């Protein structure tokens, strides 16, 4: 039943993506700017934030280190609150500079050289996030159905690449609503089954190591609460959601509505990891610990085992929905950033020759058709590269932390341009370049890049401030 349900869902996505992509406009492909209402923004926000790397990554953190995963969630909720407050400012500058994503804004403020560096750095981020989804697919199927693990993740990855390449951002938004509903049902079903079959006396045995939020050390906790929130300013997918909104007021409502729901999912996934550690002990793959516990329950004659195939299909569909919803978002953003970088002159020519209304109505120009073909090709190549990375680097937690670290590196440039109106190209360029280099150095020195993002983020900030002050003295 599991294989039938998953294959059927993948076939539906292919048909859906093909249908949407038949007459899609470039503006719809990139951000569908100013067309999103509050509920649309909310669901696509949740689809972007609550994805496969959360489903597996947070379970892994809960299994390895306990409640520190909830601390990360609190940090992200603080970040969403700050973004909600800043939405009118972000929407205004995106309209002013004709931007679809954060990368566009950085290019408008700091120039082509910095945009190229940020886009390449962001490219690494999106590759890692998409790869994490493919890792999650394989990890899940290795537990519940080893036979499917040899071929279904590859098929799912190819489906994501295909429908995202065809339908772009419009396809991402339209699939986020059903994916989020299915994800919610699957995640809550999994949690309920695990809780009802947990011996709570065993949970007390790991309380000393897993209940305090210092499982990865005080430095990681410090970074989670104080530094992670700011990284949301550096997330191009969230900037894209602001561009998509039809008004700053509706975007702010959506961001505020997302906060309690996001925190709920952080708690759910963390609890799954903690009780799995208590029931099964150490030594298992952290990312699949909850699923190991789940399959153990289904294989017994107690609890919910009267209809294990149905339950397994429900949870499987929810997990795959989570994986797909994050993969398509990041694949779309990454391919857009790279296409705008490679075909910068062609994209600028298209933007200069078209106004907002003509981008959604009227016949497609040859320039627009050409750019759509280009971004589809780039999307296919980017997805294939992410699939290769998933094969080479199988640790999903490391990928999650590395992604957050990359975002931290160009945070000073984003904050400076957005709130201070900075346009010092050298300050931004050196901050990103040396910040990235310092992250590599600190990772080797500390032998742990789960905490290397803290000193590298601070270093990037100091470099940026130093160059800004030097420029002022020269002026």
Over pLDDT 90: what percentage of the chain?
17
User: What's phi and psi for 151, nearest 5 deg?
Assistant: -135, -30
Q: Domains in the chain: how many in total? A: 1
Is 422 among the domain residues? Answer: no
160 pLDDT more than 90: no
pLDDT at 328: 83
Is 430 among the domain residues? Answer: no
Give, as one character, the DSSP assignment of residue 365.
P
pLDDT at 175: 82
**20-40: average pLDDT:** 87
434 pLDDT more than 80: yes
Q: How far is CA 139 from CA 75, 153, 469, in A?
A: 27, 9, 49
Q: Are 240 and 100 in contact (CB under 8 A)?
A: yes
Give, as one character, the DSSP assignment of residue 423.
-
Is residue 457 very low, low, confident or very high in pLDDT (cuts 50, 70, 90)?
confident
* Of 6-10, 95-99, 232-236, 249-253, minimum mean pLDDT range: 6-10
Is 255 among the domain residues? Answer: yes
Is 444 among the domain residues? Answer: no
Q: How far is CA 192 from CA 79, 141, 167, 179, 268, in A?
A: 29, 21, 35, 20, 10
**326-342: average pLDDT:** 84
Is residue 303 very low, low, confident or very high in pLDDT (cuts 50, 70, 90)?
very low
Residue numbers of the domain that contains 189: 2-398
Residues 370, 346: Cα–Cα separation, whole Å = 9
Is 294 among the domain residues? Answer: yes
Of 210, 63, 193, residue with least CA distance to 139: 63
**42-51: average pLDDT:** 85
pLDDT digits (tens, 9 = 90+) for 188-224: 887 888 888 888 778 777 877 788 888 888 877 887 7
* Of 76-80, 142-146, 361-365, minimum mean pLDDT range: 142-146
Average pLDDT, the chain: 82
pLDDT at 276: 87
Burial class (CB in 10 A: 0-12, 13-18, 19+), 241: buried
Residues 151, 156: Cα–Cα separation, whole Å = 9
Residues 450, 402: Cα–Cα separation, whole Å = 8
Note the maximum CA span of the chain: 77
404 pLDDT more than 70: no
Task: Indicate which CATH number applies to the domain containing 38.
Answer: 1.20.1730.10
pLDDT at 86: 95
pLDDT at 260: 93
Is 98 among the domain residues? Answer: yes
Compute the CA torsion angle 69, 72, 74, 77 (nearest 10 deg): -130
pLDDT at 394: 57
Q: How far is CA 212 from CA 62, 77, 113, 312, 329, in A?
A: 11, 20, 45, 32, 34
Is 439 among the domain residues? Answer: no
More confidently predicted of 375 and 153: 375
Is residue 449 very low, low, confident or very high in pLDDT (cuts 50, 70, 90)?
low
395 pLDDT more than 70: no
Q: What SS3 state is found at 302?
A: coil
pLDDT digits (tens, 9 = 90+) for 305-326: 446 677 777 777 777 777 777 7
Is 226 among the domain residues? Answer: yes
């Amino acid at each position: 039943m599991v294989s039938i349900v998953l294959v059927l869902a993948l076939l539906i996505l292919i048909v859906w993506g093909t249908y949407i992509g038949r007459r899609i406009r470039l503006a719809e492909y990139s951000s569908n700017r100013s067309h999103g209402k509050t509920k649309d923004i909310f669901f696509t926000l949740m689809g972007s934030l609550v994805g496969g790397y959360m489903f597996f990554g947070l379970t892994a953190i809960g299994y390895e280190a306990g409640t520190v995963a909830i601390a990360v969630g609190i940090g992200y909720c603080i970040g969403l609150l700050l973004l909600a407050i800043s939405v009118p400012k972000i929407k205004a500058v995106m309209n002013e500079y004709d931007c679809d994503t954060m990368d566009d804004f950085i290019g408008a403020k700091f120039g082509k050289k910095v945009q190229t560096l940020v886009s390449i750095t962001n490219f690494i981020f999106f590759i890692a996030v998409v790869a994490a989804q493919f890792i999650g697919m394989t990890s899940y199927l290795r537990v519940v159905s080893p036979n499917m693990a040899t071929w279904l993740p590859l098929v799912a990855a190819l489906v994501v690449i295909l429908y995202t390449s065809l339908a772009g951002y419009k396809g991402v938004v339209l699939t986020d609503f059903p994916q989020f509903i299915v994800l919610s049902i699957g995640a809550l079903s999994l949690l309920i089954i695990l809780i009802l079959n947990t011996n709570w006396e065993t949970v007390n045995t790991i309380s000393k190591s897993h209940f305090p939020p210092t499982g990865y050390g005080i430095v990681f906790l410090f970074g989670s609460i104080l530094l992670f929130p700011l990284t949301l300013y550096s997330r191009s997918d969230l900037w894209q959601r602001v561009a998509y909104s039809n008004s700053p007021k509706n975007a702010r409502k959506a961001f505020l509505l997302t906060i309690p729901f996001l925190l709920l999912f952080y708690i759910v996934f963390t609890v799954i990891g903690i009780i799995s550690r208590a029931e099964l002990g150490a030594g298992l793959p952290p990312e699949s610990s909850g699923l190991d516990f789940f399959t153990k329950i289904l294989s017994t004659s107690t609890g919910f085992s009267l209809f294990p195939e149905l339950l397994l299909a429900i949870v499987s569909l929810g997990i795959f929905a989570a994986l797909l919803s994050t993969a398509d978002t990041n694949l779309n953003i990454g391919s857009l950033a790279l296409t705008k970088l490679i075909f910068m002159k062609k994209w600028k020519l298209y933007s200069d020759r078209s106004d907002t209304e003509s981008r959604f109505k009227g016949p497609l120009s040859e320039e627009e058709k050409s750019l759509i073909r280009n971004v589809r090709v780039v999307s296919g190549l980017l997805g294939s590269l992410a699939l290769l990375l998933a094969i080479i680097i199988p640790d999903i937690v490391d990928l999650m932390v590395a992604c957050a670290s990359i975002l931290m590196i160009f945070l000073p440039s984003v904050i400076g341009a957005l709130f201070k109106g900075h346009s010092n190209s050298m300050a931004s360029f050196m901050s990103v370049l040396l910040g990235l280099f310092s992250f590599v150095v600190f990772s080797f020195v500390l032998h742990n890049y789960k905490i290397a993002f803290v000193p590298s983020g601070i270093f990037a900030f100091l470099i940026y401030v130093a160059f800004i002050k030097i420029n002022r003295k020269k002026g």
